[in-house]
Amino acid sequence: MATRPGLRRLVVSLSLALVACAEHTPAVDELSPAPLPEASYSAAAQAGACVYRILPQESLVLIHVGRAGAMQRLGHDHVIASEDVEGLIEIGADSSSWRADLAVPLRNLIVDRPEYRQRLDLDTEPSDADIAGTYTNMLKVIEPALYPWAVVHARIASIDAGRPTLSVSITLHGVAVEYLLPVELDIDATRLVVSGRVNISHSAFGLTPFAAAGGLLRVADELDVEFRLVGHVVMPCQSSVT
């Protein structure tokens, strides 16, 4: 069915309101150094713990950004990706000493790369204008000039049948929120792979999802995050890992 020009312009404008990020992001070297406790991990490695540095080129975080409101059918879901996760993970002989510190540069996020949309089975096709417009809207919400990194700290909460549950603190926009997060963990003396998923929300971090048309089309509060992080040991280690 043909769409009147005025309505078409309204639909495009509303579609731009869904928060995500564009490809034209600044280089990583424009950011401050990742807020990671490098010295303490170096000391742990020197003491014989297995310390793994995350390999950004092999790791991936995907965030499914949904839509809400009475006019949500006019918009798009989006997928935001981080291919630049930095971090360190310590695996000691005693699981109580296991820890992880991660940092995600928020200005380097990627939105709606086709293979990531396909991976999440998203069934609409946002235009280049939609994607570029949502970049601006995301910056208004997360303010990366003021809060350039999302920071994660994790420790073991429990291990059940070999599967760890982590006690995780995520700091975004200056607000820290705690989660219990089951993960899949595959480790040996040289390589580590940890994967899982977690539901977070804008409101938990004091953020207001972007909205248009008086809230008739808006970003959903809830966000579904999935991740796969790959690390390589920084030096030969002595801890027993299985």
85 in any annotated domain: yes
3 state DSSP class of 234: coil
Name the least confident of 72-86, 153-167, 225-239: 72-86
Can you give the residue range of the structural domain that contains 80?
Answer: 15-27+34-181+193-233
149 in any annotated domain: yes
8 in any annotated domain: no
Q: Specify the number of domains making up the chain.
A: 1
Question: 202 Cβ partners below 8 Å, 6+ apart?
Answer: 141, 208, 209, 219, 221, 223
241 in any annotated domain: no
- Per-residue pLDDT tens over the stretch 9-22: 443 344 444 433 33
Tell me the backbone φ, ψ of residue 14, rounded to 5 degrees. -70, -35
Q: What is the pLDDT of residue 126?
A: 86
9 in any annotated domain: no
* CATH code for the domain of 96: 2.40.128.110
Looking at the predicted structure, is the pLDDT value of residue 175 above 60? yes
170 in any annotated domain: yes
Distance of CA 31 to the CA centre of its chain: 17
105 in any annotated domain: yes
223 in any annotated domain: yes
What's the whole-model pTM score?
0.82
